[in-house]
Amino acid sequence: MDEMFKMPYIHAPFRDVVNPYLDEASRLTAGWIESAGLTPTPEARLRMRRTDPQGASAYTWPYANRDELMLCIKWLATVFRLDDQLDEPAVAVSAEESMQVTERLCALFEGTTAARETPVDQAVAELWQETAYGQPPDWRAAFVDSMQKWLRTYPAEALLDMTGEYLDFDTYLDHREYSVGMPWLYDLAARGLGLPQAVREAPALRSLRRAAAVHSALVNDLFSVRREAMVGYPHNAVLILRRETGCSLQEAADEVGAYIAHRAEEMLAAYSALSQGLQRDGVPLTTQIDALAYADRIMACTRGQITWHSTSARYATDDISSPGGSLGYPADLLPPSSPWPAGF
């Protein structure tokens, strides 16, 4: 991809906070990433270091305590690895295999199957057991729903690629709300707050979550567009706008920046509506405080994505433009010894 563009202004009038436990939690989780089999080769270890799940977690969950941050780092290390294996051509699986892998993981969250002997399977099973422990059924159900919707975006994109079809921009934004993976991150941010289901599902809070997810998705698209264009990954807002309108890459990036600004203003409006609605409905003061604290966590997470994306090597292109090719992971999403059951 030879065409260059200047990064547009990214509107995010929220606090930029990094978790103070970053260094300690990073040190304590380094051994787990290795022992879980997520980085079995030098290439995998280098790719994980470039991805920096530790820094991503510190900006995504800036108010988590040390143990919570450790859990979050483990989750991001696992899902970043899965994302690379499902998306990047050097290690990606077919559309059929993508569906098999993601449906298998969806079943793990429902407890209807045992984890297969693959690193991602084993890590997801372990992390879900730790995450779900002591949490109320409604929170667990919400987390599983967000996770499953995220996982199922992979075979959906793989099928589009197989048929040569493209999503139009508006449909893409609906898809991107979940393909970015932010909703389950927001669920983790609510873990331990004990918010009633009615509060978590309040229209204003749902609007805030959606606007935040799309905001972060479009930020990701801006920072990843060069890499994704180089590896042939078409599901990016900048590339979609350029394809639909015939505009330059710069014009498409500027338009994405404008969409981001709209989402930021939607977040501010939703926050105000949430505060007013909680008071109007007579919600207990302690619950109001916790609900607004949760909203603050989402807004800080949104701002943090910009800082992390601007400093992480995850979206750099030097590895795929070098003679050695893309840095990635071994093709170990599918068990080597046994075929998938018929009709799975």
Dump pLDDT digits (tens) for 186-195: 999 999 999 9
**Residue 336 CA to its chain's centroid (Å):** 28
The single residue listed with the structure tokens 């900048």 is 238
CB burial class (10 A; 0-12, 13-18, 19+) of residue 37? Answer: middle
The mean-pLDDT minimum among 238-242, 259-263, 329-333 falls in 329-333
Residue 341: pLDDT over 50 = no
**DSSP string of 204-220, one letter each residue:** HHHHHHHHHHHHHHHHH
pTM score > 0.75 for this model?
yes
CB 122 within 8 Å of CB 84: no
* Rounded average pLDDT over 325-337: 72
Burial 24-35 (b: 16+ CB within 10 A, else e): ebbeebeebbee
Question: How far apart are alpha carbons 340 and 202 in whole angstroms?
Answer: 41
Residue in the structure block whose two tokens are 């393909």: 179
Q: Categorize the per-residue pLDDT at 334 as very low, low, confident or very high, splitting at 50, 70 and 90.
A: confident
Pairwise CA distance, residues 285 & 280, whole Å: 12
Mean pLDDT of the chain: 92
- Residues 44 and 263: their CA atoms lie apart, in Å, by 35
Structure confidence at residue 225 (pLDDT): 97
* Rounded Cα–Cα distance for residues 221 and 290 (Å): 32
For 13, the token pair is 């009038």
In which region does residue 232 sit, left (phi positive, over 0), alpha (psi from -120 to 50) or beta (all else)? Answer: left
Per the CB < 8 A criterion, the answer to whether 140 and 87 are in contact is: no
Q: How many residues does the chain have?
A: 344
> What are the structural domains, with CATH classification, of the chain?
22-321 (1.10.600.10)
